[in-house]
Amino acid sequence: MLHLRGIYTIWYRDILRFWHDKMRMIGSIIFPLLFLFIFGSGLRGSMGFLVPGVDFAQFMFPGIIGMTVLMNSFMSGVSVVWDREFGFLKEVLVAPVSRTSVAIGKTLSSTTIAMLQGLLILIFAPIIGISFSVSTLLALIPLMLLLAISMSSFGILLATRIKSLQAFQVVMQMLMFPMIFLSGVFFPVEGLPAWMNVLVKLNPATYGIAPIRQVVLGTTADSPLGVTVLGHTMSLWDNVAVVSLFGIVMTILSMWSFNHQD
């Protein structure tokens, strides 16, 4: 019971901080929408249809959903570094609550925030010409949740190893933007130069974006928008398995690292 209370307290504190930070709430929505409407609408005419019935803006839309989830969950580590610099983390670590509970609470709070932001993007689907059924939404939510948990754990793992806020922001940008640009958010991941193809296939975010796009657009795994690894066409469940494995490893490592904080 004490562990559950500790998890809830950490989760509630981070959610409350997010709720009162209106600029963060607005900014985290506007930023991905700028990509969607500037690049999507601007290149819609020149790019044409990538597959029958799917133009460039519609192709980008599920990628923007995944990007929103990825960015907001990956930034979870900022709160850990911030709490360390201002002394709050030290007080938490000496409290009669397991450090694992603190790590879980941080992961769940960032996952919740990322999910809320990702779901808000769905409001703009009719503008892009995409319609959702209840079954589509029910299939989409677990995929978003899996990506959010995986990236939240990754962000917290980095935060436990990086001591200053400035260093964390630099490292976060160095990792986050390449992960986004090389995940298929803005272009199909097939038919790329060999060196870029290797980076795309090594990027765990690629396997988080692909199933979201498959569910939102209703495309099949063997469509030109799918992912092929070593000649094998990745199905939705193959992609889920890769992200799940990455998430499990990151979660275990983040808890271990949190338990070894000074």
- Record the tokens describing residue 176, joined without a space: 């986050």
Cα(125)–Cα(105) distance, rounded to whole angstroms? 31
What are residue 229's phi and psi, to 5 degrees? -125, 120
Q: Read off the pLDDT of each residue in 91-119 and give the average, rounded to a whole number.
A: 80
Q: Is the pLDDT of residue 47 over 70?
A: no
pLDDT in tens, 183-197: 888 887 777 788 888
| Residue 217 pLDDT grade (very low, low, confident, very high; cuts 50, 70, 90) | confident
Domain limits at 10?
A: 2-259
With beta carbons less than 8 A apart as the criterion, state whether 254 and 110 touch. Answer: no
Q: Read off the pLDDT of each residue in 31-58 and give the average, rounded to a whole number.
A: 68
141, burial (CB in 10 Å: exposed 0-12, middle 13-18, buried 19+): middle
Q: Is the pLDDT of residue 1 over 60?
A: no
Query: Helices (H), strands (E): how many in the chain?
Result: 13, 4
Cα(153)–Cα(119) distance, rounded to whole angstroms? 20
Dmax over Cα atoms in the chain, in whole Å? 60
Q: Which residue has the higher pLDDT, 84 or 127?
A: 127
Which residue in the block uniquely carries the two structure tokens 């939705």? Answer: 236
| Residue 28 pLDDT grade (very low, low, confident, very high; cuts 50, 70, 90) | confident
Q: Read off the pLDDT of each residue in 222-243 and give the average, rounded to a whole number.
A: 81
Q: Is the pLDDT of residue 221 over 60?
A: no
Q: Is the pLDDT of residue 148 over 90?
A: yes
Q: Is the pLDDT of residue 86 over 80?
A: no
Count Cα atoms within 13 angstroms, Cβ side, for 204: 22
Question: Looking at the 3D structure of the chain, how many domains does it have?
Answer: 1
Q: Which residue has the higher pLDDT, 255 or 23?
A: 255
With beta carbons less than 8 A apart as the criterion, state whether 127 and 44 touch. Answer: no
With beta carbons less than 8 A apart as the criterion, state whether 162 and 171 touch. Answer: yes
pLDDT on residue 51: 61
With beta carbons less than 8 A apart as the criterion, state whether 60 and 39 touch. Answer: yes
Q: Which residue has the higher pLDDT, 98 or 244?
A: 244
On average, the pLDDT of the chain sits at 80
Predicted model pTM:
0.87
Cα(191)–Cα(120) distance, rounded to whole angstroms? 32
